[in-house]
A and B are shown apart, each in its own frame.
Chain A
Amino acid sequence: MTRTLTRPAPLPSPLRLGLARGGIELKQFFRQKEHVVFTFSMPAFLLVLLGSIFNDAFGNSGVTAGQVFTASMVGAGIVATSFVSMGIGVAVDREDGTLKRLRGTPMPAVSYFLGKIVLVAVSSVAEVILLLGVGMLLFDLSLPTELGRWLTFTWVFVLAVISCSLLGIAISALARSSQSAPAVTNIPYLGLQFISGVFINPITALPAAMVTVASFFPVKWISQGFRSVFLPDSMVVQEMAGSWEHGMTALVLTAWCVAGLALCLATFRWTNSRS
């Protein structure tokens, strides 16, 4: 086999490679049964169960428990497709040689992370569509029509996905192996769903101390943000603070974006062994 000697061609741009990585990441994610079943479909499965078991209406508001679960579960769902997916995915990439291989090629690190961003963005949008579909079909959820609510949806979604992806990448370093990664990511995720008003509605039914703990983490604020998008304003009385607290939501999630980035930079490793 002859090596063709040609004039040095320019290296492909990091952006183009990032998009190519994104395509490959999506293929791998949706072809992997474990991801599709446990990470992607689990929130919808839980929503079907919870919404069917608790189907009372909230007082005379006309809002059913199923609708509240749907709004909260949209938040929990994108935490799965960002935090859990990254936490497991990067640990697997580190263990199966993906990162080592990439490091030996002219693909820059930024393209790898761009690919992960594409994966998280696409799978999170798909997750939202799936959960809203379940809510509309089974629990008569109707989508908001006001532009303002969709603006709220957009910034909550973007801040949620960025902060949780960064935290997922950071926690993958803690996982050390792909076997322990699902436990290391799912335990905080599951615990936070219980104390953040995702599984237990309304959030005021929870002990105040638990919600105080949950308030330090993103899940509570993400779910609360989506409740403010998909539930009528009369439901605000069911919130701990009696208000949607948009300012606080933006503040906490932005702080986690910054903290997540710092943790990533401090903990990211290309391989399991130390050099």
Chain B
Amino acid sequence: MTRACAWRSTLGGMNAIEARGLGKTYRDVHAVRDVDLTVRQGEIFALLGPNGAGKTTTVEILEGHRDRDSGDARVLGEDPGKAGRAWRSRLGIVLQTATDAAQLTVAETVRHVARYYPNPREVDDVLDACGLTEKAGSRVRQLSGGQRRRLDVALGIVGNPELIFLDEPTTGFDPEARRQFWVLIENLARGGTTILLTTHYLDEAEALAGRVAVIAHGEIVAEGPPATLGGRATAEATVGWTDENGRHTKHTATPTALINQLSAGGRELAELTVSRPTLEDIYLDLIGDRQ
């Protein structure tokens, strides 16, 4: 059986991205080392990591923008290093920092990029979904930071892609703009689009992603649903309560039993809290191990 056939049989048409042992070295520095990544069709997958951890390099290899030094990658069933125009027409790439098309209007820009694709979405629908209908006639240079990012998303989705790469999409957004943006991404995913998101906002990953991978120093250090990442679900819980002697906190693997014992006979516990490590605690722990 040839390598290509082996890939196809394991893919079974189910995974949008399948990468094994990706490696990239700049001079003597390993930017990415032995990265394995599987993103299923239709899921939102977040790649988390500090700046310089290898997020962008990994994504650029998968987008076909950067050569890899080692490993195998299949994106939508093709090798991103060799794939052609037809493959590109199935992808949407949302750039991290673009200031292009400054002199064009929003509608002109989206309409123009739509022409590159064989099956584009309706331009008006895209503007509407991205909240840009009112800005359709404005020059791109007049947009605010958040509007500019929404235009980048509009340009990333107008080609009706099966897979979207979003590189740090909400950097510089105010809280309300971020919420609106999340709704837009969730709607895209609900429509069947696969999304690979890189971010260093943990609340964003937790709100959007079905699964996350944490990358530090070029290596994947943990992978899984945000709720169970790094043993989060099974980690010891902290139970806190207040009584006549003041505030108490106790770490326990069995918080229910503890509360049952404390509240025996129907005693009410004042200011009762049960907390587990936040994603941030787990994340800092994970990347801290590697510093």
Q: Which of A47-55, A102-110, A188-196 contacts B (4 or more CB under 8 A)?
A: A102-110
Of the candidates A5, A28, A32, A96, the one whose C-beta lies within 8 Å of that of B99 is A96
Bound-complex Cα distance A10 to B193 (A): 21
Interface residues of A in 156-179 (CB under 8 A from B): none
A-contact bits for B175-198, CB 8 A (1 contact / 0 none) = 000000000100110111100000
Of the candidates A2, A10, A32, the one whose C-beta lies within 8 Å of that of B118 is A10
Q: Judging by beta carbons under 8 Å apart, are A27 and B104 in contact?
A: yes
Chain A interface residue number, banded: 20 to 34
Interface residues of A in 1-27 (CB under 8 A from B): 1-6, 8-12, 16-17, 20, 24, 27
Q: Judging by beta carbons under 8 Å apart, are A106 and B188 in contact?
A: no
Chain B's interface: helix, strand, loop or mixed, by majority?
A: loop
Interface residues of A in 90-113 (CB under 8 A from B): 93, 96-98, 100-101, 103-108
Q: Which residue on chain A has the smallest CB distance to residue B155?
A: A101
Bound-complex Cα distance A28 to B129 (A): 26
Chain B interface residue number, banded: 35 or more
Bound-complex Cα distance A28 to B104 (A): 7
Decide yes or no whether B233 CB sits under 8 A from chain A. no
Q: Judging by beta carbons under 8 Å apart, are B118 and A8 in contact?
A: yes
Of the candidates A1, A27, A32, A97, the one whose C-beta lies within 8 Å of that of B97 is A97
Bound-complex Cα distance A218 to B104 (A): 34
Give every chain B residue within 8 A of A28 (Cβ-Cβ). Answer: 101-104
Q: Judging by beta carbons under 8 Å apart, are B98 and A101 in contact?
A: yes
Decide yes or no whether A234 CB sits under 8 A from chain B. no
Give every chain A residue within 8 A of B85 (Cβ-Cβ). Answer: 11, 106, 108
Q: Judging by beta carbons under 8 Å apart, are B100 and A104 in contact?
A: no
Interface residues of B in 91-114 (CB under 8 A from A): 91, 93, 95, 97-104, 108, 112-113
Give every chain B residue within 8 A of A2 (Cβ-Cβ). Answer: 191-192
- Distance (whole angstroms) from the CB of B115 to the closest CB of chain A: 5
Bound-complex Cα distance A146 to B125 (A): 56
Q: Which residue on chain B has the smallest CB distance to residue A102?
A: B116
Q: Judging by beta carbons under 8 Å apart, are B86 and A11 in contact?
A: yes
Interface residues of B in 108-154 (CB under 8 A from A): 108, 112-113, 115-119, 121, 125, 129
Bound-complex Cα distance A96 to B100 (A): 5
Decide yes or no whether B88 CB sits under 8 A from chain A. yes
Bound-complex Cα distance A248 to B160 (A): 54
Give every chain B residue within 8 A of A93 (Cβ-Cβ). Answer: 100
Give every chain A residue within 8 A of B60 (Cβ-Cβ). Answer: 275
Q: Judging by beta carbons under 8 Å apart, are B113 and A105 in contact?
A: yes
Q: Judging by beta carbons under 8 Å apart, are B95 and A104 in contact?
A: yes
- Say whether, besides A1-B188, A93-B100, A105 and B112 are in contact (CB < 8 Å): no
Give every chain B residue within 8 A of A96 (Cβ-Cβ). Answer: 98-100, 102
Q: Judging by beta carbons under 8 Å apart, are A104 and B160 in contact?
A: no
Bound-complex Cα distance A96 to B88 (A): 21
Interface centre among A9, A20, A100 (most CB of B within 10 A): A100
- Distance (whole angstroms) from the CB of B183 to the closest CB of chain A: 11
Interface centre among B67, B97, B102 (most CB of A within 10 A): B102
Decide yes or no whether B162 CB sits under 8 A from chain A. yes
- Distance (whole angstroms) from the CB of B92 to the closest CB of chain A: 8
Q: Judging by beta carbons under 8 Å apart, are A104 and B63 in contact?
A: yes
- Distance (whole angstroms) from the CB of A14 to the closest CB of chain B: 9
Q: Which residue on chain A has the smallest CB distance to residue B87?
A: A106
Give every chain B residue within 8 A of A10 (Cβ-Cβ). Answer: 118
Q: Judging by beta carbons under 8 Å apart, are A104 and B191 in contact?
A: no
Q: Judging by beta carbons under 8 Å apart, are B95 and A106 in contact?
A: no
- Distance (whole angstroms) from the CB of A111 to the closest CB of chain B: 9
Q: Judging by beta carbons under 8 Å apart, are A11 and B104 in contact?
A: no
- Say whether, besides A3-B162, A106-B86, A12 and B118 are in contact (CB < 8 Å): yes
Bound-complex Cα distance A28 to B101 (A): 8
Of the candidates B67, B93, B104, the one whose C-beta lies within 8 Å of that of A275 is B67
Q: Which residue on chain B has the smallest CB distance to residue A35?
A: B103
- Distance (whole angstroms) from the CB of A85 to the closest CB of chain B: 14
Decide yes or no whether B8 CB sits under 8 A from chain A. no
Give every chain B residue within 8 A of A32 (Cβ-Cβ). Answer: 103
- Distance (whole angstroms) from the CB of A81 to the closest CB of chain B: 17
Q: Judging by beta carbons under 8 Å apart, are A104 and B103 in contact?
A: no
10 CB contacts below 8 A, A to B, read: A3-B193, A8-B119, A11-B118, A20-B115, A31-B103, A98-B101, A104-B88, A105-B116, A106-B86, A106-B88
